[in-house]
Structure 1
Amino acid sequence: MNRQLVLVPQGAEYRAVQRGLRGQRLRGWQVVPLRAGAAALSTPALSAALANGPTVAVVLGVCGGLQPQDPVGEVVVYRTCQDEAGVMASLDGLLLARFGDRWRFVKAITTQGVMCKAKEKQALARRWGVEVVDMEGVLLLRHLQGLGIPVAMVRVISDGGDRDLPDLTHAVDHLGNLRPWPLMVAMLRNPLAAAYLVQGSLRALAVLEAIAPEVVRCLADLTPAPLP
């Protein structure tokens, strides 16, 4: 029975992590795709995985940088994650210690939608002192902690705080699925921002694929030994 969870937003992020972990043959780990944003908690696969009583969970994926100097492709480990009201939750200290000084530790914030404007990203950073943004982190953190499950979150920055993105407000439905037509319209309306988004996403996904095995290895002694 799988007792450790790797939770990843569905789609390209999930596929990248699957590729990275392919052939690792680590027993005890289950990779679970999640709906994007607030819909993550209603993912049937998550409910099924939690029914097995997991002992630890790590959330992998991409995030947005909020500072102009944030490099695309940088790996970050969440130290805290908060909502837009400023209510903060801390990640598990013992799990954080497993990562040592491999990657930068950050304060994160979860928003209801995609942060598209650079000035909005920077304003969010100034107001709350946060460094990166996602759409499901704090929701997952509170839910899992409420079940007594230690949580770590490791993400890769896919866009910095110095560039606008296409307006993706209508490109994701209530179940966290991309809507192809609204997505295409948003990209065509701002081709320069679209090109930046695509390039940054591809780079971040490549890094995510590369680090997935290392993230799991950092927690390897929490699981049974690898298969021979």
Structure 2
Amino acid sequence: MMNTVILVPQGAEYKAVCRGLRQNTGSIPRVLAIPVGMQPLTKYLQQWDKQQSPVSSSPTQNCHVELAGEQGAGRKGENLSPPLPAPCPEASHHTKFSWQTTRVLVMGLCGSLRQNYAVGDAVLYQSCTYQGRVQECDRPLMTQLSAALPKVSLVKGLTSDRVIWSATKKSSLAATSNCDVVDMESFAALQFFQAMGIEVAVLRVVSDDSLHDIPDLSAAISTDGSLQALPLAWGLISQPIAATRLIRGSLQGLKVLEKVTQALLDSNLINT
């Protein structure tokens, strides 16, 4: 039987997925709260992989990461020190872990690059691009996810190493990359796990549209992929209209993310 590992950015996105899993009293997948950004995530996964024996039957022994509140843009985790996995508090009925029988699902929020995709839309990546390089998602797993979520849209994803906050920049990226949505982690996860021969898919929910600016929160992201509270607060306060738009979109996206997680559990697709 295939085990599912869910990767989701630390903070409110992680908590939304855990709330969705809370609806199930049986076996649920392992969920890892990951840092924001390509390099922090790659380093995190490399360290995590080194700590995995061929079979580990006690996931609850992983270092628990304390996470911050659920308001705002959805990524307010504390520093990951050391950057170890954070299993959902509810994840107490795991089967034994083995890479040979594992598939990975990347979940979280994303930004829209086109008017076709609005806040609250669930999207399933066909591929993900980073600096002209393309990683394809696992087709059989995509087909299963699409069947379980009839309203999901198939998209081409783009991973950026910086916050894409400007509507003008989004329009430019849509034209030059031929992609539909943008995030900061998916390409790194696809590259890492596909090199190991592991099935990977990306399922996200749009939290900001392509027509309006959001706050530029680049200064709030530290080198380890965590968000720093004071720069984050200042970034939101200094751009109140854009901040209000981002917060509303994030809260709407988080509600959908929770429901999508529930739907996957109801379909028995991610149960382990």
- Which TM-score applies when normalising by structure 2? 0.76
The change in CA–CA distance for 1:26 and 1:93 in structure 2 (over 3 A counts) is farther
SS of residue matched to 1:170:
helix
Equivalence for 2:140: 94
- 1:186-211, CA deviations, whole angstroms, 9 ceiling, x for partnerless residues? 11221100000100000000110111
Counterpart of 2:122?
Answer: 75
For residues 119-160 of structure 1, the C-alpha deviation after alignment (integer angstroms, 9 at most, x for no partner) is: 001100011110000001011001000011101110000000
Equivalent AA in structure 2 for residue 120 of structure 1: K
1:132 alignment partner in structure 2: 181
The answer to whether residue 237 in structure 2 is matched with residue 188 in structure 1 is: yes
Distance 1:28 1:70, change over 3 A: closer
**2:42 aligns to what?**
41
Percent sequence identity over aligned pairs = 33
Distance, in Å, in 2 between the alignment partners of 1:142 and 1:50 is: 21
2:159 — aligned with what?
A: 110
The Cα of 1:185 is off from its aligned counterpart by 1.3
Does the aligned pair in 1 maintain the 2:27–2:271 contact within 8 Å?
A: yes
- The whole-number CA distance in structure 2 between the counterparts of 1:147 and 1:28 is 23
User: Aligned-pair RMSD on alpha carbons?
Assistant: 2.2
| Distance of 1:218 and 1:142 partners within structure 2 | 28
Deviates more, 1:23-32 or 1:182-191: 23-32
Change in Cα spacing, 1:223 to 1:179, as seen in structure 2 (3 Å) is closer
1:78 and 1:107 map into 2 onto residues whose CA distance is 6
Shift of 1:43: 2.5
1:216–1:63: structure 2 CA closer, same or farther, 3 Å change rule?
same
Gaps of 5+ in 1: none
Deviation, structure 1 residue 89: 1.1
Tell me which of 107, 128, 148 is aligned to 1:60.
107
Q: How far off its partner does 1:103 sit?
A: 0.8
Question: Distance between the aligned counterparts of 2:11 and 2:116, measured in 1?
Answer: 28
Cα distance in structure 2, aligned partners of 1:23 and 1:117: 37
Aligned residues: 222
Q: TM-score, normalised by structure 1?
A: 0.90
- Identify which range, 32-41 or 46-55, moves more after superposition: 46-55
Q: How far apart, in 1, do the equivalents of 2:224 and 2:260 lie?
A: 28
Aligned-residue offset at 1:114: 0.8
The answer as to 2:268 corresponding to 1:211 is no
Give the letter for the 2:18 counterpart.
Q
CA pair 219-125 structure 1, distance change in 2 beyond 3 A: farther
User: Which stretches in structure 2 are left out of the alignment for 5+ residues?
Assistant: 55-97
Separation (CA, whole Å) in 2 of partners of 1:49 and 1:33: 16
The separation in 2 between residues aligned to 1:146 and 1:77, in whole angstroms, is 21
Q: Is the 8 A contact 1:3 1:28 kept in 2?
A: no
Separation in 1, partners of 2:27, 2:104 = 14
CA distance, structure 2, for counterparts of residue 43 and residue 65 of structure 1: 26
Aligned to 2:18: 18
Partner residue in 1 for 2:95: none
